[in-house]
Amino acid sequence: MPQTASYLIDRDELLRIRAMKLLTSDRDYLFFALQIDYPGKLNPTVDVSSFCERWDLSDGNFYKALGELRNKGIVVSIANRLDLQFQSS
């Protein structure tokens, strides 16, 4: 049986990809950052200030990207708090 190759993206790798300008969309960057910080969690509670500092995002870019993810149906904000619900595909 053939082995399947895998490519894991951790925080350092995602930051490297962004620095190389291979990932230019804050929406996509936020999606991957959330997946790294909250793997497998359906309803994570996000401390926005800490998250933005950790991932080198401004609060404004965070909320804009979050809105784009919401429009795509990927996340749902609950009660205007940052308890996010990831939609399963």
pLDDT tens-place string over residues 19-60: 999 999 999 999 999 999 988 887 888 888 899 999 999 999
Exposed / middle / buried, residue 27 (Cβ in 10 Å: 0-12, 13-18, 19+): middle
Q: What is the length of the chain?
A: 89
Q: Which CATH architecture has domain 25-86?
A: Orthogonal Bundle (1.10)
Under the banding of pLDDT at 50, 70 and 90, the label for residue 79 is very low
Percent of the chain with pLDDT over 90: 55
For residue 48, what are the CA distances in angstroms to 10, 54, 58? Answer: 19, 10, 10
Dihedral Cα 12, 64, 71, 87, nearest 10 deg:
40
